C-alpha cells in the first residue's frame, strides 16, 4: 500500500513539476483524499492501541499519558480536523466520547501553555463548528481552572497549575508560554460574555512586550515574579515563536489595536536584527537582545512557522524567500531536521517530531499567492512522510533524519496540525478565509463571529 502511494505520488509529481501548468482541482482532490486516508490510518492506530489515553506510541503499539491520568489530548486535539475533512459521523461520536469522559477535576499540575493551545483551543474550535454548547461548558470549566496561573506580581503566567487546587509553580517562563494565550482566552471571553479571560491574557502579553529591551527585542527566558530576563538570547525559535504569532493574530481576530501596535513595533526590529541574508538563502538568527549582536546561526522546524506569519502580515516577499529556505532544509535531508546551522546546512539536532510548521507555511502561501509551487512542496512533504514515517500503527517521529532511524512518538499535533494543514493545502473547497477565521498555534480555527 505504502509502495503504491509513493508510486502514485512520484508519477503525479513527474507529470506536473517540470512545467508551471495548473494542477487541476481533480488532482488536488485526489491528494486531499490520500491525506484523509493517512489521517484515518493514524487515528485508527490511536483507537486500537491508545484509546482513552493522551498519545499513541506507534512503534511499541502502546500509549503515553502526559500526567497521572489521561486528558484525552489526542481526541480533543484531533476533533475539529474530522469536521474539516467532512468525517462528520466519526466526529460526532468522538465529540460524545469527549463530553462523557473528559473531566478537568484532576489533582495534578499541568503545563498551562500546552493545555491552552491543544485542549482549550480544540474545545473552542469544535464548539464553533458543531454548535454543541456542552463543549463550551467544558472550555469554560477549563478556563476557570487555569485563571489562577496569572496571579503573579507582574500578571505574566506561571508555567504550571494544579487543575484541582489552583496552586501554581514555575516562575521561570518564556515569551511563547506567556504570550500564546490570547486567542484561546480571548475567544472564551467573546463566547461566554465574561471579559476576565481576555483581560488576563492581554495583560500577560502586554507586560511581556513592555519588558522588551531598549532596541525592542525579547529574550528566551524571564522570571514572571520579578519581570527580569534570565536568558537574553533573542530569536524567533521555540520559546519565543508563537508570542510574535499571537501579536499579529490577536490584532486580526479581535481587531485589537494595541496588539497591532505591538506587532508593528516587533516585526520591525525582528527583521532588522534577526533576518539574515546568506549564500544559502534568507534565515533568522539568534542575537543578544540588548545589543542586537549575532550569537549563532541556527534555524529549525519550529522556526518554519514564520513564513506563514509573514504571509498573514502581507509581507509576501520575505515570506516566499523564507519558505524557500525552509523547503531547502527539508529537501537537504529528505525530511526536516529539528535544527540546522544554516551556514553549513548541517543538522545540529537531527530529530523529526512530525512537526507541521513548514506545511502550515506552504498552506498560507498558497492561499495568498495561488502559486502551484506550494502544492508541489506539499506533495514532497506528503511523499517523505509516507516513505519515512508511516508504520503499521500510524506515523512515527524520526530519531535521526540522516539515518532515518525511527522514534516511538506520535504527538497529537500530527493529527491536529500536520495532516490538517496538508489536507487544507490540497482541498480547495475547504480553504478557509483568513479574514473570517484565525488558526490558533495548534491549528484550531477560531471563527471571527463577534
Catalytic residues: 114, 241, 338, 357
Shortest Cβ 215–ligand DMJ spacing (Å): 26
Using an 8 Å Cβ cutoff, are 437 and 445 in contact? yes
Residue located via cell numbers 497529537: 412
Shortest Cβ 258–ligand DMJ spacing (Å): 22
The whole-angstrom separation of Cα 174 and Cα 312 is 24
Using an 8 Å Cβ cutoff, are 425 and 366 in contact? yes
In this complex, which beta carbon is closest to ligand DMJ, that of residue 9 or of residue 119? 119
In this complex, which beta carbon is closest to ligand DMJ, that of residue 320 or of residue 442? 442
Strand, coil or helix: what is 74? helix
Shortest Cβ 419–ligand DMJ spacing (Å): 13
The neighbour count for residue 88, using CB atoms within 10 Å, is 13
Q: Write out the binding residues for ligand DMJ, residues 343-372 only, by CB under 6 A.
A: 355-357
Residue located via cell numbers 489530548: 73
The whole-angstrom separation of Cα 430 and Cα 83 is 11
Q: Write out the binding residues for ligand DMJ, residues 373-412 only, by CB under 6 A.
A: none
In this complex, which beta carbon is closest to ligand DMJ, that of residue 216 or of residue 238? 238
The residues pairing with 223 across neighbouring beta strands, listed in sequence order, are 172
Our measurement of the distance from residue 369's CA atom to the centroid of its chain's CA atoms, rounded to an integer in Å, reads: 22
Of the residues 82, 413, 421, 439, which one makes contact with ligand DMJ according to CB under 6 A: 413
Per-residue b/e over 301-314, b at no fewer than 16 CB within 10 Å?
A: bbbbbbbbbbbbbe
In this complex, which beta carbon is closest to ligand DMJ, that of residue 173 or of residue 242? 242
Of the residues 441, 444, 445, 446, which one makes contact with ligand DMJ according to CB under 6 A: 441
Q: Write out the binding residues for ligand DMJ, residues 2-21 only, by CB under 6 A.
A: none
In this complex, which beta carbon is closest to ligand DMJ, that of residue 355 or of residue 420? 355
442 binds ligand DMJ, rule: CB under 6 A: yes
Q: What are the φ/ψ torsions at residue 426 (nearest 5 degrees)?
A: -95, -15
Query: Which of 402, 284, 404 minimizes the C-alpha distance to 332?
Result: 402
The whole-angstrom separation of Cα 180 and Cα 102 is 24
Site string for ligand DMJ, 111-130 (x = CB under 6 A): ------x-------------
Q: At 414, list the grid cell.
A: 500530527
Query: Which of 214, 206, 248 minimizes the C-alpha distance to 234?
Result: 214
In this complex, which beta carbon is closest to ligand DMJ, that of residue 152 or of residue 418? 418
The neighbour count for residue 222, using CB atoms within 10 Å, is 26
The whole-angstrom separation of Cα 315 and Cα 313 is 6
Site string for ligand DMJ, 313-342 (x = CB under 6 A): ------------------------------
In this complex, which beta carbon is closest to ligand DMJ, that of residue 115 or of residue 267? 115
Shortest Cβ 116–ligand DMJ spacing (Å): 11
Shortest Cβ 181–ligand DMJ spacing (Å): 12
Q: Write out the binding residues for ligand DMJ, residues 280-309 only, by CB under 6 A.
A: 302
The whole-angstrom separation of Cα 253 and Cα 159 is 25
Of the residues 116, 173, 232, 242, which one makes contact with ligand DMJ according to CB under 6 A: 242
Return the DSSP state at 236. Answer: S
Q: At 46, list the grid cell.
A: 490511536
Give the binding-site size for ligand DMJ (rule: CB under 6 A): 10
The whole-angstrom separation of Cα 305 and Cα 327 is 12
Question: Footprint of ligand DMJ on this chain (CB under 6 A)?
Answer: 117, 242, 302, 355-357, 413, 417, 441-442
Amino acid at each position: 500500500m505504502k509502495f503504491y502511494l509513493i508510486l502514485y505520488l512520484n508519477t503525479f509529481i513527474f507529470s506536473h513539476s517540470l512545467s508551471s501548468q495548473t494542477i487541476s482541482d481533480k488532482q488536488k482532490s485526489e491528494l486531499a483524499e490520500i491525506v484523509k486516508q493517512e489521517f484515518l490510518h493514524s487515528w485508527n492506530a490511536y483507537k486500537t492501541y491508545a484509546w482513552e489515553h493522551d498519545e499513541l506510541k506507534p512503534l511499541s503499539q502502546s500509549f503515553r499519558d502526559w500526567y497521572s491520568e489521561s486528558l484525552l489530548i489526542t481526541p480533543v486535539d484531533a476533533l475539529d480536523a474530522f469536521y474539516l475533512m467532512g468525517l462528520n459521523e466519526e466526529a460526532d461520536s468522538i465529540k460524545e466520547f469527549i463530553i462523557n469522559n473528559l473531566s478537568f477535576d484532576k489533582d495534578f499540575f499541568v503545563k498551562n501553555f500546552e493545555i491552552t493551545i491543544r485542549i482549550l483551543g480544540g474545545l473552542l474550535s469544535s464548539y464553533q463548528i458543531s454548535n454543541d454548547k456542552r463543549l463550551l461548558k467544558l472550555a469554560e470549566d477549563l478556563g476557570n481552572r487555569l485563571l489562577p496561573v496569572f496571579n503573579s506580581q507582574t500578571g505574566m503566567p506561571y508555567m504550571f497549575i494544579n487543575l484541582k487546587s489552583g496552586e501554581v509553580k514555575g516562575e521561570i517562563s518564556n515569551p511563547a508560554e506567556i504570550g500564546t494565550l490570547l486567542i484561546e482566552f480571548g475567544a472564551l471571553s467573546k463566547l461566554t460574555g465574561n471579559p476576565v479571560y481576555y483581560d488576563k491574557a492581554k495583560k500577560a502579553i502586554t507586560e511581556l512586550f513592555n519588558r522588551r529591551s531598549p532596541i525592542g527585542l525579547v529574550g528566551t527566558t524571564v522570571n514572571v515574579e520579578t519581570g527580569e530576563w534570565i536568558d537574553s538570547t533573542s530569536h524567533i525559535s521555540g520559546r519565543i515563536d508563537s508570542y510574535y504569532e499571537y501579536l499579529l493574530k490577536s490584532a486580526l481576530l479581535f481587531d485589537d489595536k494595541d496588539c497591532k501596535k505591538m506587532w508593528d513595533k516587533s516585526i520591525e526590529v525582528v527583521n532588522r536584527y534577526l533576518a539574515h541574508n546568506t549564500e544559502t538563502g534568507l534565515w533568522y538568527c539568534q542575537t543578544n537582545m540588548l545589543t542586537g549582536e549575532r550569537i549563532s546561526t541556527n534555524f529549525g522546524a519550529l522556526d518554519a512557522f514564520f513564513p506563514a506569519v509573514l504571509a498573514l502580515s502581507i509581507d509576501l516577499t520575505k515570506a516566499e524567500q523564507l519558505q524557500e529556505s525552509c523547503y531547502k532544509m527539508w529537501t537537504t535531508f529528505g525530511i526536516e531536521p529539528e535544527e540546522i546551522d544554516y551556514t553549513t546546512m548541517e543538522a545540529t539536532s537531527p530529530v523529526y517530531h512530525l512537526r507541521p510548521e513548514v506545511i502550515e507555511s506552504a498552506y498560507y502561501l498558497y492561499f495568498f499567492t495561488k502559486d502551484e509551487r506550494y502544492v508541489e512542496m506539499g506533495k514532497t512533504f506528503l511523499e517523505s512522510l509516507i516513505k519515512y514515517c508511516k508504520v503499521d500503527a500510524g506515523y512515527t517521529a524520526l530519531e535521526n533524519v540522516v539515518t532515518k532511524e525511527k522514534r516511538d512518538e506520535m504527538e497529537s499535533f500530527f493529527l491536529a496540525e500536520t495532516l490538517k494543514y496538508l489536507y487544507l493545502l490540497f482541498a480547495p473547497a475547504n480553504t478557509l478565509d483568513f479574514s473570517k477565521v484565525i488558526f490558533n498555534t495548534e491549528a484550531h480555527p477560531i471563527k471571527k463571529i463577534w
